[in-house]
């Protein structure tokens, strides 16, 4: 049985009169774009959501000669959506960068890793099953990542940092969760460089009269006629000068209804709506945290899921989600409860709130959701890294384009400075972030940890004994400690030894100091379930049939099929899922509207 995602606490503001609303909407539209004059339809297609998937779908439709309206409730400053803020990581298989690093990767190995991570178990062979189309999308996506994905993007001018990252290293078995080899390709220019070629395509289409933006148009309903989608309706919001990512006004100045034979929903997930996150939280991950921080802007609220469901779409796998365990409270927030994720190397020691060390696979960078379950099972909403300056200088990276100015701005010299100094954004968090404790001695560190949380849960003797036990395991090139094994495994990969893994050393070695403790918060991020779609991006109804005229792509569709990742992600697959599903839906919608 499906458990649809439903809105919580969302009310529709009372609009002005219909006549006044139509005048206001017409005035705003005339300012924003040239009208498609003299046609029974307002456009050949309407795309709802101007994030990455929406830009890709719009670009494909316009390239096929279709006239497209691209709607979003946010102002123009937020064009590109969450992808703009991303680290720009992309999942490729057997890439030039991997081969340069000596990594041997194959389609079969990637497919083994995907299946081991996804754990599809909800009716793969049953056309009515929640995982039926998710599995097919996964097959298609791994083919794409092993094939034309890199050359397609490279042809658009996208480039990648040559050292391939190794994310989600897994749970310890060859056929289980995780990447067997490094596959995380960081885009040169991070998220903005992924968005850029598609934004350029759409802006060129606007200039040519093939597409039009309608910013500040909030879709409140999908219009159907005789069972087929025929357009959208909603509210025109007042113009907003809000900067990218900042909350914008929800004051309504009018209403609109737009007509088109095709509507493509690309509105994103639920990450900023903590009520929906908790409502759909699975029992397998324990009790939802009472306190979470947010990895996406406030407008990522999930409203279009319920709206599309009311138009006949089927929501599947709503309990599958991807939240990070290494969240920091941003000392300089852009959106409410703004959190930043640490992308850790393998060396920091990880403890629960009481100071008990986590076991395998709860090692930094190994198994995100298993560690999330271990944190909730501890009875607390946070955990701790205990680490050294030597480790954070080489192993800590921060998520987000704004936290990586060297990569985002393509500044080679600033990037090279990471060799001899801790990156400035990390030092700023260490100095200004509320989650950092820095001390010369372990006793001072423990006192600072207990002061920060105010609960005195950390016992010095117990913590010291666990750290010293791990430290003894670094004295030989062999060990029984799984984390130390992982460090040595990482150091055997040239990419990690150059840039992401500190030499194995004792945590309590004074020369590696100072000692650092980092309180880690649960950080909401991605929706892995969503609208079920076939391989053309057509939204399916409860009977498994396409809803005529209705398509979806990106996170709202579980990045394809209502859950291409299954239970777990291999990372670098969210942007890629938006690219692939947006392209599939755009091309299919263009073919469906051919005359």
Tens digits of residue pLDDT in 212-222: 999 999 999 99
Q: Please, which pLDDT band fits residue 337 given cuts at 50, 70 and 90?
A: very high
Element (H, E) at 551: strand 546-552
Tokens at 422, concatenated? 């801790």
DSSP conformational letter for 238: P
Encode pLDDT of 455-486 as tens digits: 999 999 999 999 999 999 999 999 999 999 99
Q: Please, which pLDDT band fits residue 418 given cuts at 50, 70 and 90?
A: confident
As a whole number, the mean pLDDT across the chain is 93
The three-point CA angle 317-319-324 to 5° equals 120
Please tell me the least confidently modeled range out of 24-33, 157-166, 436-445, 542-551. 24-33
Q: Is the pLDDT of residue 445 over 80?
A: yes
Tell me the three state secondary structure of residue 514.
Answer: coil
Q: Please, which pLDDT band fits residue 3 given cuts at 50, 70 and 90?
A: very low
Cα–Cα nearest to 428, from 327, 330, 294, 326: 330
Cα–Cα nearest to 163, from 407, 494, 395, 424: 494
| Beta-bridge mates of residue 516 | 387, 438
The percent of residues in the chain predicted with pLDDT above 70, rounded, is 93
Q: Please, which pLDDT band fits residue 39 given cuts at 50, 70 and 90?
A: low
On whether the CB atoms of residues 534 and 133 are closer than 8 A, the answer is: yes
Q: Please, which pLDDT band fits residue 26 given cuts at 50, 70 and 90?
A: very low
Q: Is the pLDDT of residue 22 over 80?
A: no
Neighbours of 40 (CB within 10 A): 5
Across the range 95-117, mean pLDDT stands at 98
Neighbours of 417 (CB within 10 A): 14
Q: Is the pLDDT of residue 2 over 60?
A: no
């Amino acid at each position: 049985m499906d458990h649809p995602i439903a809105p919580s606490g969302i009310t529709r503001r009372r609009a002005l009169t219909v006549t006044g609303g139509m005048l206001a909407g017409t005035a705003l539209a005339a300012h924003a774009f040239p009208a498609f004059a003299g046609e029974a339809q307002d456009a050949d297609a309407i795309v709802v959501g101007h994030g990455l998937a929406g830009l890709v779908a719009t670009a494909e439709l316009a390239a096929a000669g279709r006239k497209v309206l691209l709607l979003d409730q946010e102002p123009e400053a937020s064009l590109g959506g969450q992808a703009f803020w991303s680290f720009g990581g992309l999942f490729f298989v057997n890439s030039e960068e991997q081969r340069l690093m000596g990594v041997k990767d194959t389609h079969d190995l990637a497919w083994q890793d995907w299946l081991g991570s996804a754990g599809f178990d909800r009716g793969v062979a049953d056309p009515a099953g929640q995982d039926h189309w998710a599995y097919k999308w996964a097959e298609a996506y791994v083919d794409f990542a092993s094939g034309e994905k890199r050359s397609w993007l490279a042809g658009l001018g996208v480039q990648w940092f040559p050292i391939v990252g190794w994310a989600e290293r897994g749970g310890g078995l060859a056929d289980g969760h995780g990447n067997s080899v490094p596959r995380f390709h960081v885009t040169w220019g991070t998220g903005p460089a992924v968005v850029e070629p598609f934004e350029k395509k759409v802006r060129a289409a606007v200039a040519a009269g093939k597409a039009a933006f309608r910013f500040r148009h909030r879709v409140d309903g999908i219009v159907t006629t005789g069972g087929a989608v025929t357009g959208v309706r909603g509210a025109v919001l007042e113009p907003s000068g809000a900067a990218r990512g900042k909350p914008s006004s929800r004051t309504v100045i009018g209403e609109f209804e737009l007509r088109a034979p095709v509507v493509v929903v690309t509105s994103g997930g639920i990450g900023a709506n903590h009520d929906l996150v908790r409502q759909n939280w699975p029992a397998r991950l324990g009790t939802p945290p009472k306190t979470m921080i947010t990895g996406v802007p406030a407008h990522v609220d999930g409203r279009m899921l319920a709206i599309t469901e009311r138009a006949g779409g089927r929501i599947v796998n709503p309990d599958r989600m991807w939240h990070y365990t290494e969240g920091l409270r941003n000392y300089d927030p852009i959106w409410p409860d703004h959190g930043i994720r640490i992308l850790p190397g393998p060396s920091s020691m990880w403890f629960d709130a009481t100071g008990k060390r986590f076991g395998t696979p709860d090692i930094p960078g190994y198994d995100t959701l298993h560690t999330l379950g271990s944190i909730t099972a501890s009875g607390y909403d946070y955990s701790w890294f205990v680490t050294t300056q030597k480790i954070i200088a080489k192993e800590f990276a921060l998520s987000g384009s704004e936290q990586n100015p060297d990569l985002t701005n393509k500044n080679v010299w600033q990037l090279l400075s990471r060799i001899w100094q801790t990156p400035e954004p990390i030092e700023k968090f260490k100095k200004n972030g509320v989650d950092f404790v820095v001390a010369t001695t372990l006793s001072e560190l423990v006192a600072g940890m207990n002061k920060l949380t105010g609960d005195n849960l950390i016992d010095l003797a117990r913590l010291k004994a666990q750290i010293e036990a791990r430290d003894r395991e670094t004295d030989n090139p062999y060990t029984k400690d799984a984390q130390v094994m992982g460090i040595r495994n990482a150091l055997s990969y040239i990419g990690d030894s150059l840039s992401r893994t500190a030499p194995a050393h004792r945590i309590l070695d004074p020369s590696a100091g100072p000692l650092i403790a980092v309180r880690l918060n649960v950080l909401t991020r991605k929706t892995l379930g969503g609208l079920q779609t076939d391989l053309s991006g057509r939204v399916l109804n409860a009977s498994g049939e396409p809803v005529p005229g209705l398509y979806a792509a990106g996170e709202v569709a579980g990045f394809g099929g209502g859950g291409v990742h299954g239970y777990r992600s291999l990372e670098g697959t969210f942007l890629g899922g938006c690219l692939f599903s947006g392209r599939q839906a755009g091309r299919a919608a263009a073919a469906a509207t051919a005359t």
